[in-house]
Amino acid sequence: MSKRFDGRVAIVTGASRGIGLGIASRLVSEGAKVVLTARKPEPLEEAVAELGGPEHAEGIAGKADDVEHQAEVVRHVLDKHGRIDVLVNNAGINPAYGPLIDLEHSVARKTFEVNVLAALSWTQQVHRAWMAEHGGAVLNVSSVAGQRPSPGIGYYGATKAMLSLMTQQLGVELGPKVRVNAVAPAVVKTRFATALYADDEEGVTANYPLKRLGEPADIGSAAAYLLSDEASWITGQVLTLDGGLTLTGGV
């Protein structure tokens, strides 16, 4: 494994499991020190242990959309490591399933705050504290659900569509020192997505040209490329990671 992130420090939100942990694992394997965030301390402790312990990672519990938590994490990382080279906005929620016309406003508001506003706020925090002067790379975790109508998860998809557009806007605004890109996965085998495939994984994968669902490691490898210097001429892009699903008209 190459060491593209030797000496670099990353913050990964929503990283106690699933895609966030998959990205963190890849960054650690390539030499990064990674600070994980998630709501609950116990899963964070397990994730840190899985990543090799405090020599490689540490966890700070808090809500992704809590501005005070964001500021605390940024201060801690700068106090301890003296730099923030990478930010991964992975935290996301999808508490509602069903048509938009029935969506409760309180649920819609919370989903927007976590999936969109929190990603913007984390980016603002690290930009003001470090990246504006020293540079860095930001990655947002969007979704193919944001690329076309997605029955049952339409509002989740709408927030991811905004996250993708926000990625492009920030790519324009924050260059040349800071690059901002996104990945847009289809269904990845995580606890978060279990309801989308658990009852009929074979049937779900039938529409994928590569005939399998994604794994967190698939997202981790693509994320590491976009965050590395090898992607130094790439910004404002949304990379679809879907096993070919959208080629067949599926979501």
pLDDT of residue 173: 98
Residue 1 included in any domain? no
DSSP 3-state of 136? strand
Q: What does each C-alpha distance from 21 to 78, 170, 202 come to in angstroms? A: 22, 24, 25
Q: Which helix (H) or strand (E) holds 36?
A: strand 33-38
Predicted confidence at residue 58, as pLDDT, reads 98
Question: Is 100 within the bounds of a domain?
Answer: yes
Residue-number span of the structural domain to which 86 is assigned = 9-242
Structural domain includes residue 147: yes
Residue 251 within any structural domain of the chain: no
Number of domains in the chain: 1
In a domain, 192, yes or no: yes
Rounded CA-CA distance 146/197 in Å is 19
Average pLDDT over the chain, rounded to an integer: 95
Q: What is the pLDDT of residue 6?
A: 98
DSSP 8-class letter at 244: T
Span 186-227, pLDDT tens digits: 999 887 767 666 666 787 788 899 999 999 999 999 999 999
208 is catalytic: no
Entry pTM? 0.95
Residue 3 lies in a domain: no
Residue 135 is part of a domain; what is its CATH number? 3.40.50.720
Q: List, in order, residues 6 or more apart from 100 with CB less than 8 Å away.
A: 154, 155
Residue 169 lies in a domain: yes
In three-state secondary structure terms, 61 is strand
Q: Provide the 8-state DSSP code for 206.
A: T
- Each residue of 61-88: pLDDT tens digit? 999 999 999 999 999 999 999 999 999 9
Share of the chain above pLDDT 70, in %: 96
Residue pair 11/84 in contact by the 8 Å Cβ criterion: yes
Residue 33 counted as domain residue: yes
- Give the model's confidence band at 1: pLDDT under 50 very low, under 70 low, under 90 confident, else very high: low
The one catalytic residue in 156, 197, 208, 225 is 156
